[in-house]
Amino acid sequence: MSVDTHPTAETVHKSVKKKIPNISLGTVYRILKSFVDEKEILEIPSDVSHFDGEIKEHAHFICRKCGSVSDLFDNKTKVRYNKNISAGEIDSYQLNFYGKCNKCLK
């Protein structure tokens, strides 16, 4: 939660193994899933799920070529919605934009 990147479970596992050498990747996945369920972090679905410690509603840009994920904090991407819609009651949302990042465009 203290990083401003959007790590995958594998990235978290690699980092945690430095302090807890015997931790399994499965344990990391279960812990991340529990954090998502408790709304302590966000899961950003992509080819490989990424995780975000910033839980304020905001948009993400996901590069279709390299898979990088970036935050978009821009008032223009803010979505306004009626929480009570005919399909049910909305309690959160995710807004993702897809394309090629600047690095991949070069």
Domain extent listing, the chain: 9-105
Give 34 or 79, the one with higher predicted confidence: 34
Residue 66: predicted pLDDT: 92
- What does the pLDDT read at residue 90? 73
Is the pLDDT score of 83 beyond 70? Answer: no
Report whether pLDDT(74) > 60.
yes
Range 88-105 average pLDDT: 86
Which residues is 85 bridged to in the sheet?
88
* Residue-averaged pLDDT of the chain: 87
Let me know if domain 9-105 sits in CATH 3.40.640.10: no
- Contact at 8 Å (CB) between 75 and 58? no
